[in-house]
A and B are shown apart, each in its own frame.
Chain A
């Protein structure tokens, strides 16, 4: 069975500082994809970044980077130079080929950026 664990229900960060949101996963599939999504208070779900299990390098997208540690089964999201607009809920998710590629989501982390 696939499982995603986000252990930080809430996080605070000062504007312009970097923050790391934790995500650990569990799967017996050798091939999988890891995703991070952002959900602002307005409610929409926004895709941020993707990491494949066979990717050699950590994924980066602008201010977002994914710290992928395969042996530890962790896929932490790093946001650099936090902005007020980064305040939102962040979900880590995983997809595997088992169960028709179903996505499993973590419980989310609420990030608040302080001015």
Chain B
């Protein structure tokens, strides 16, 4: 009965490689997010999709490309990985309706280590 799942949980790769992280939610939410948490635990939003439409695109290098094939899935592809990309990447989902602000449900995180 996992709510928000991410794969893989750990990812160790070398500089210059391309990698993808996948996220799926079974909560029926219409909005999904990617966050990056650095080594100091600062949490910063990267992207958000609402009903498969990109609605938030923060200042993130072009090497990062999100894709949402449907409302329940959001993937993150990273090209030409750099040392500074090492972080924990969280996927999250929530509802986005009317004027109510709904809480976000987070996945377990993907710890990316670039060597």
Q: Taking beta carbons and an 8 Å cutoff, which residues of A are in contact with B?
A: 31-33, 35, 37, 39, 43-47, 50, 52, 89, 91, 95-97, 99-103, 105, 107-108
Contact = CB atoms under 8 A, between A and B. Distances in A.
Main secondary structure of the interface of A (DSSP, over half): strand
Given A50-B101, A52-B101, A101-B101, A43 B42 contact: no
A37 B106 CA distance: 10
A37 to B, nearest CB: 8
B48 interface: yes
A38 B105 CA distance: 12
B86 to A, nearest CB: 15
A64 B114 CA distance: 38
A100 B48 contact: yes
B37 to A, nearest CB: 9
Contacts, number: 60
Main secondary structure of the interface of B (DSSP, over half): strand
Contact of B101 (A32, A43, A89): A32
13 contacts: A33-B101, A35-B103, A45-B104, A45-B106, A45-B109, A50-B101, A52-B100, A52-B101, A97-B99, A100-B50, A101-B48, A102-B56, A108-B41
Contacts of B100: 33, 52
A100 B88 contact: no
A99 B56 contact: yes
Given A44-B106, A89-B41, A100 B101 contact: no
